[in-house]
Structure 1
């Protein structure tokens, strides 16, 4: 499946076979990141981000790698990657390269909605961090547990195989781009709900 930023300067491919689960995340940090990008349209009506959780080796950037930029909402937060040309979110990863995880915003997948659903499942089927949602969100506990277990199983299997996230890290385990780290005041302003 094709990944692309809004202006088309960054492109890539996603292997659906490397996906763990599709989920909507309602945490304040995902909402703050969308606001920082200036993309309120990246959030659903309850303030959630539609994400495909996957193994990092399932994403390949084929064009515009020099346009990738990185930010973090704090000194210990996730590394959130975006296209510097048009501020399209492209993915988030833990700071530790040993955690074999990549969250790709569905907004960056340049395919028709029905093709995305056929590959990754329907939007909103699994909801996480619903306590931070801006409106009521249905979150069937068994579905949520199944999704979390799929992600955990993928992380555990990668750890057993000694896999490291090499997609956006150098050989020393440092991010390929120096992240812009937001200060507390800016983070709190972006995280505040109206």
Structure 2
């Protein structure tokens, strides 16, 4: 069974294989919040500024339509690549800058299924990351966070040892990103980043 995803207007579509998922978590870091703000998509954040993310092996994700609508930005010259739809600015996923690191953080907001189906496939999001940057009080989950990080590391190592490094976000022959990343200027990043909490 696969889980479909799509952008808001439906031009960019695909599916993910739940067997490729490492862990589900909510990230409250300022970079994830800035990513949503610069796209004008604050609607993908929860009330405390969190992004519900499925961390997974990128090879378990497949585009089925609209890859010409795929766009990419980065908050800094060496930061992760943050993929979104060019048509409606829907955030899709975060990846490393090369396919050599088999990791993709897919935003739950783009998954086209019910909350019940998501919980059945991945479990509810009980791991909270970077809670110090939340817009309000969020309980830290140190034990779950450590376990989640361990699952991600184990999944990445297994993928690398199994040579399953293919990523739909990069050209298989050249390893170049499917879309040229737009790197934010310092001014753009500062304008999009919420002030530190406290």
Does the residue aligned with 1:57 lie in a helix, a strand or coil?
helix
C-alpha distance in structure 1 between counterparts of 2:38 and 2:45, whole Å: 12
CA contact (8 A) 2:95 2:105 kept: yes
Unaligned runs of 5+ in 2: none
For 2:92, which of 90, 93, 102 is the aligned residue?
Answer: 90
- Look up the match of 2:131: 130
1:95-126: CA deviations, max 9, x gaps? 13211001100000000111011111113x00
Does the residue aligned with 2:119 lie in a helix, a strand or coil?
helix
TM-score, normalised with respect to structure 1: 0.95
The aligned runs of 1:4-43 (5 Å cut-off) are 4-43=6-45
Does the residue aligned with 1:116 lie in a helix, a strand or coil?
helix
Report how many aligned residue pairs link the two structures.
193
- Look up the match of 2:48: 46
1:39-70: CA deviations, max 9, x gaps? 11111111110100000011110011111011
Does the residue aligned with 1:147 lie in a helix, a strand or coil?
helix
C-alpha distance in structure 2 between counterparts of 1:129 and 1:63, whole Å: 34
Q: CA deviation at 1:36?
A: 1.0
CA contact (8 A) 2:59 2:164 kept: no
C-alpha distance in structure 1 between counterparts of 2:129 and 2:81, whole Å: 19
CA contact (8 A) 1:134 1:193 kept: no
Q: CA deviation at 1:73?
A: 0.7
CA contact (8 A) 2:102 2:167 kept: no
The aligned runs of 1:14-163 (5 Å cut-off) are 14-123=16-125, 125-163=126-164
C-alpha distance in structure 1 between counterparts of 2:149 and 2:167, whole Å: 23
CA contact (8 A) 2:72 2:180 kept: yes
- Indicate whether 1:2 and 2:7 are aligned: no
TM superposition outliers: structure 1 runs of 4+ over 4 Å: none
- Indicate whether 1:177 and 2:187 are aligned: no
- Look up the match of 1:193: 195
Unaligned runs of 5+ in 1: none
C-alpha distance in structure 1 between counterparts of 2:135 and 2:61, whole Å: 31
Q: CA deviation at 1:72?
A: 0.6
Q: CA deviation at 1:161?
A: 2.5
